[in-house]
Amino acid sequence: MNISSATSAASASYSSAATDTSALEKQKAKLEAELEKVEASKDDEKTKETKTKQLEQQIKQIEAQIAQKSNSSSSSSAAQSAQPEKPADTNLLKAASSAQIAAATTDSEGRFDIRI
């Protein structure tokens, strides 16, 4: 796959995700408007409470879908981009674990002596 086809694939993926997200945003806005109507209605409290809970649950589901779409579009764009080079030397210094730090001792001059 050459660079131009990878770029077009990434942009197509992003634009479809943006379209899906905007449709979900519109649906969420409609549900929020309906929620306001229910709260302002003259129905009895039990009916209002039931309708409010249903609408709030639907809004939460849509918010979760929007978050999922935005995460998947950003991760697919990141996957499409060039992979960072791996370091040539795999014997780099690594941070000590909490168990190793807990087992550390100090020498006569007060310096840490950690065995890894």
Q: State the pLDDT at residue 62.
A: 93
- Does the pTM surpass 0.85? The reply is no
User: What span, in angstroms and rounded, lies between the C-alpha atoms of 9 and 80?
Assistant: 8
Q: State the pLDDT at residue 2.
A: 44
CB count within 10 Å of CB 113 equals 8
Residue among 74, 79, 34, 78 nearest 55 (CA) = 34
The amino acid occupying position 10 is A
One digit per residue, the tens of pLDDT, for the chain of length 116 reads 444 444 444 444 445 556 788 889 999 999 999 999 988 988 899 999 999 999 999 999 999 998 888 887 666 555 555 555 555 555 666 676 777 777 777 777 877 666 66
DSSP secondary structure string for all residues of 77-95: HHHHSPPPPPPS-S----P
